Amino acid sequence: MIDYYKILGVNNNCSKEEIRINYRKLCLKYHPDKNHTNNAGDKFKEVRDAYEILYNDELRKIYDLQILFKDIELTEEDYNLLLIYYHKIIESKEYKLFQLLYKSIPIKIKEDIWKRFKGEYCNQPIVVANRSIDILKLDIDEIVNLLIRSIDYNNQVLKIIYIFSKTGIYYLYLRKPPPYIIINNDNCKLYLKFYIY
């Protein structure tokens, strides 16, 4: 995936003003009329593409989601659904209250919490395993036995399972799953049983 932030020389939480300033500098540097090197035209096009994505608020949100979920293939419909959820969360009273609470915490305490979090969790591996179970055509109760390696279970390696059912899509993010999970499929049920080996 192309790193538009790197192309413009900005970080991913930069302001629109920073994007605009760096874009202008790079345009002057790589514009084909000013720069006659072989790759100036390509560089100029990269800079222009990066600016068009990052300066547009909606396109930037989608791009940031693509970076976040780069190991998971999402459709345009999935991205639209994520954006809807994003807007609902950002506009909620709870989120605004949380922002105020977070801003009221002294910087020293925030840094201490972050150091503790990184110390405890930074070595924890994350495995994104694209596993899915489609039960859209299932009409009777079914049991699926899933095996988890003991090393993955003990290290709480993240396992992701997508369940496509008649009642919707379930996204299971599991580190230490319970012995079983029951998924309602309208007129029947799917039982996921987990075994450690």
Burial class (CB in 10 A: 0-12, 13-18, 19+), 26: buried
User: Does the pLDDT value for residue 127 go beyond 80?
Assistant: no
- Domain ranges in the chain are 4-72, 131-196
Query: Which pLDDT score, from 0 to 100, does residue 119 have?
Result: 61
Q: What residues are paired with 164 via a beta bridge? A: 134, 169
User: What is the tens place of the pLDDT at every residue in 30-75?
Assistant: 888 887 787 888 888 999 999 999 999 888 888 887 887 776 777 8
Rounded Cα gap, residues 43 and 174, in angstroms? 43
Amino acid 115: pLDDT? 74
Element (H, E) at 159: strand 159-165
Whether the predicted pLDDT of 90 surpasses 80: yes
Q: Please state at what angle helix 40-55 crosses helix 57-68, rounded to 10 degrees.
A: 100
User: 108 pLDDT exceeds 70?
Assistant: yes
- Mean pLDDT score of the chain: 84
Instruction: Please give the pLDDT value at position 118.
Output: 62
Q: What is the pLDDT of residue 106?
A: 87
Summarised one tens digit per residue, pLDDT across range 133-148 is 888 888 899 998 888 8
Q: How far apart are CA 82 and CA 186, in angstroms?
A: 25
Is the separation of the CB atoms in 144 and 171 below 8 Å? Answer: no
Q: Which is higher by pLDDT, 130 or 97? A: 97
Q: Quote the CA–CA distance of 182 and 127 in Å, as a whole number.
A: 23
CATH of 4-72, one of 1.10.287.110, 3.40.50.300, 2.30.30.110, 1.10.940.10: 1.10.287.110
> From residue 134, how far is each of 31, 128, 157 by CA, in Å?
51, 19, 23
- Token pair, residue 44, equals 């100029």
4-20 per-position pLDDT tens digit: 999 999 988 889 999 99
Least confident segment among 58-72, 89-103, 117-131, 155-169? 117-131
